Structure 1
Amino acid sequence: MIWLSPPKDFILLPNEVHVWRFQLDITESQLESLSAILSDDELARANRFYFPEHRQRFIAGRGVLRQILGGYLGILPEQVKFDYEARGKPFLAEGLQQSGLLFNLSHSHNLALCAVNYTRQIGVDLESLRVMEDVEALAQRFFLPQEYNLLRSLPDEQKQKTFFRYWTCKEAYLKATGDGISQLEQIEIALTPTEPARLVKLPAWSLVELVPDNNYVAALAVAGCGWQLKCWQY
């Protein structure tokens, strides 16, 4: 997968989906610049983080999100206004919704992805690959029996990555629909170590696995078919 240098103009066609990749570990000067465009409630939330790196990554994530959305909307980053769903998911406030712009953000460790398009429900999920001792137990708890059986049948060196592939695919779809993690075991994903994932029994949805970086996996779920994907490096 190729992550292209960002275009000069933020042009998003109706049949396009854009995914932006950006780093959350930034310099002190960048941190100051991004802090200046956050709202008071975002700064208050940032200051509630106990560890400085978590505070910094929140500011970076929310600040770059504002820059990306402002680019598409043709407004300053600090003019982007958000409302929030019950689970805390941000969406454009009422005055900006007429644009039809929909987005979703995911971050893991020091990397973030932002997916953007017009009018289609959209969700993206990103996970850094890491060793979990109880991966089979987690798969048995959250996955469907056939998914658990496939993971269990794999060599140990493939189980961790396969678990996170399942997880990101399910989460991307649930983030797009607004359903919570309690529905994780209701979404069926078909995949193998050598074949890309697909949503089962959901023909009105598209699912794409992304390659964000070494030791990361990610997935993008979008309502409908026939759209074109472009991936940008912010």
Structure 2
Amino acid sequence: MNELSIRPTPITWHLPEPASTTPMALNARETHFWFTDLDQPVQDEMADFLLTLLDEQEQARALRFRRPELTQRFVMAHGRLRQVLGRYLGIAPAQVRFCYGDRGKPALEAPLASALQRSSDQPLAQIRPLQFNLSHSDRYALIAVSHSPIGVDLEVVKSFPSASSLAQRFFSAKEFEVLQLLHDTEAATEAATEADTEADTEAAPEPETAGCSLARSVAFLRHWVCKEAYVKATGEGLVDQLPQVVVDFSAGARFEALPRSQGESQGEWQLLELTPSWETVAALVLPEGVPCHCRYWQC
């Protein structure tokens, strides 16, 4: 059996306590995940409120979408992010402000990070600024919060016709070979199905053909989210690095190789594969050696 045919068990999500002015606890050993359905019905007042939480650039971007559901998803994702971060900071979501790295990675403005340090019970030397990352795909969003640099990526599972062409461009030779093996399996299944159908014209085609196609798409997406989470964690966002980010699933998801152009070694980052739901695949990347005790919340 191909190792990519086995996915992690879907996460059980928990409802958090109501928000309060007391900051939500997050110790240095924990990573918190927040998962939300961006298509969940919301009252007009809430939709308007979430829009007001966004900065001017985000509001302008949201209103450029031509389809109302895309506007709602964008506003929900970025509004929920501020609500979540406000819980940890003990402030109103409207007070959450971001600064951006050279390649667009958001971070909390310095005064907010300093306020978090002052409010913590841990010794100052042990405190690092709050780190976060957001990913959204179709109707779902995933937020990761930690005290370490992190990157998270989420994709909705669906048929992906361009998987092979993208893999040829952005995957290593070994990773592309794995996808090609699934393609060959699919072709063999199709041939067997056609032969069975010709032998018995009354027999209905077997359903595995669509399943193989979806399996190949899932395999592609599982590689893809790991690569994307890495470039988001480093903050470099360089797509030309993706072929050098080599993921191995033979014994659980891990990095087999990473880019070395900036002095990284493949031991400096660890990878965690996630299944937020059977409809989605996701991955988290954080520094090697950092404990990753995960807690899962729904918002």
TM-score by length of 2: 0.73
Counterpart of 1:109? 138
Aligned residues with identical type, % of pairs:
42
Alignment partners' CA distance in 2, 1:35 and 1:160: 34
Counterpart of 1:198? 254
User: Does 54-63 or 160-169 show the bigger shift?
Assistant: 54-63
3-state SS in 2 of match to 1:27:
coil
* Pair 1:178-2:213 in alignment: no
1:1-234 equivalences under 5 Å are 1-8=11-18, 10-25=24-39, 26-29=41-44, 30-98=46-114, 99=116, 100-118=129-147, 120-154=148-182, 155-156=185-186, 157=212, 158-179=215-236, 180-192=238-250, 195-201=251-257, 202-225=266-289, 226-234=291-299
Q: Which one has the bigger strand percentage?
A: 1
Q: Considering only aligned residues, what root-mean-square deviation do their CA atoms show, in Å?
A: 1.7
3-state SS in 1 of match to 2:230:
helix
CA deviation after TM superposition for structure 1 residue 189, in Å: 0.5
CA deviation after TM superposition for structure 1 residue 34, in Å: 1.3
Alignment partners' CA distance in 2, 1:111 and 1:189: 24
Alignment partners' CA distance in 2, 1:58 and 1:128: 16
Which runs of 5 or more structure 1 residues have no equivalent in the other structure? none
Alignment partners' CA distance in 2, 1:152 and 1:7: 47
Q: Is the 8 A contact 1:39 1:78 kept in 2?
A: no
3-state SS in 2 of match to 1:114:
strand
Alignment partners' CA distance in 2, 1:27 and 1:116: 24
Which runs of 5 or more structure 2 residues have no equivalent in the other structure? 1-10, 117-128, 187-211, 258-265
Alignment partners' CA distance in 1, 2:152 and 2:86: 20
Say which one has the larger Rg. 2
Which residue identity lines up with residue 170 of structure 2 in the other structure?
A: F
User: Does 3-12 or 47-56 show the bigger shift?
Assistant: 3-12
